[in-house]
Amino acid sequence: MNDSSTAGSLRFGVIGVGIIGRQHVARLLSDASPATLIALADANPEAARTVAEENGVEASASVEELLGRDDIDVVVIAVPSGLHADVTIDALDAGKHVFLEKPIEVTVEASDRIREAEQRSGKILSIASQRRFAAENQFLKTLVSEGKLGRLTSATVEVPLWRSQEYYDSGAWRGTWKLDGGGALMNQGVHLVDLALWLLGDVEELFAFTGLLAHERIEVEDTVTATARLRSGAQLTFQATTAAYGKLPIRVSLMGDAGSIVTESERVIHFHSRDGLELPEFEAVDIMLEQHLDFVDAVQNEHAPLVTSADARAAVAFIEAVYESGRTGKPVRPAELPVRA
C-alpha cells in the first residue's frame, strides 16, 4: 500500500540508504506494507538521490531537512551503529517515531541516552531483531513461556559465520570500536543475543574469551566464546565468529527436563517432548516485513512493540560484559537497568 492518500497510513522516511537501508525501502514499498514511504536521506546526498530515483520517492537534501518535514511520522534509521544515538535522539526530539537498526548503540551509555530521549518524546521506538518473527522462533518462545520443556536447564547458541577481509575493508566504519562497536558479537551475533535473552531471561554472570584470529586491519574480535549463568539458574554457551568458512548453520539448542529442541538457521532439526507434543506446520514469512508490521501496529495502537529499547539495551549490556570479560579474564555481571528505566 503506497498510495499517499491512504487514510491512516503511516508516512515513513528512511535515514541511511546503505545495504540494509535499501532493504527497508523495498519492504516499505512492497504491496504487503501498511505504510507509505515518503522520502530518504543519507549523509551522502547523492546516494539518497540515486536510491530515491530508483524507487520513485523523494530525496531530502539532509537528515535535518527530512526530520523537519511534517509529512513524515516515522523514520527508519539505518546508519553505522556508533551513530545511532546522534541520529535517533534528533529524530525522537523532532517528534518522529523510530524504527532503529540493531544494535541500539555500541555502548550501554549511548543506549541509555537514546532511552532517555524516547521517554521524554513519548514516541514509539523499536529496534531491529527480525529473527524473533520467524515462526520457528515464535514456537520456541511459546514452548519456553508455557513451560513445555519443563525446567530449562541449559542452552547453546552457535553463530558460525564467514565475513571475508573484503567485507571488513568495504566500509571505513566496519570493524572499528567507535562505529561498529565490536565484531562477530556486536555486529552479527547481536541478533542471537537478543533471541537468547528473549527466550531465557536475564543473565546473572558470564565469562568469555574473545579473539581476532582470521582477519587483518580491524580493531574488534572475529571470534567469541561465552558461558553464562542465567537468573533462572539455567546455563548458556554462546559462540559467535565471522571466521568460520563454509556456510554453517546458526544453531540454537534448548534443553529442559521435559523436552529439548534444536534449530538450524530457523529450521527445527530436533524436537523431543516428554509429554508427546508435536511440531506444528511453520509458515515461511518475510521476517523484516513482519517486524515492520509489529512496529506499525505499536505506533497506530499505542502499545509497546515486540522488541523494546530495554530489550535492545540488555543485548548491548550482555555484549559489553563479554568484551570486558575477554579483556580482563574475569567473570562479569552485565550492567543492570538503571532505576530510572
Q: Is 316 in the site for ligand NAD (CB under 6 A)?
A: no
Stretch that binds ligand NAD, among 17-25, 245-253, 278-286, 328-336 (CB under 6 A): 17-25
**Residue 324, all three cell numbers:** 570486558
C-alpha 217: how far from chain center: 26
C-alpha 180: how far from chain center: 13
Cβ–Cβ under 8 Å, residues 311 and 127: yes
Cβ–Cβ under 8 Å, residues 197 and 256: no
Site string for ligand NAD, 135-174 (x = CB under 6 A): ------------------------------------x---
- What angle is formed at CA 268 by the lines to CA 187 and CA 251, rounded to 5 degrees? 30
How far apart are CB 188 and ligand NAD at their closest, in Å?
9
Residue closer to ligand NAD by CB (options 128, 244) is 128
How far apart are CB 291 and ligand NAD at their closest, in Å?
9
Helices (H), 17-83: 19-29, 45-55, 63-68
How many residues form the binding site for ligand NAD (CB under 6 A)?
Answer: 24
How far apart are CB 166 and ligand NAD at their closest, in Å?
14
Cβ–Cβ under 8 Å, residues 103 and 191: no
Hey, which residues between 26 and 85 contact ligand NAD (CB under 6 A)?
A: 42-44, 47, 63, 78-81, 83
Residue closer to ligand NAD by CB (options 255, 316) is 316
Stretch that binds ligand NAD, among 12-20, 67-75, 119-127, 208-216 (CB under 6 A): 12-20
To the nearest 10 degrees (0 to 180), the angle between helices 84-93 and 108-121 is 10
Q: What does the alpha-carbon distance between residue 77 and residue 13 come to, in Å, rounded to a whole number?
A: 9
Point out which residues bind ligand NAD (CB under 6 A). 15-21, 42-44, 47, 63, 78-81, 83, 87, 101-102, 128, 130, 171, 187
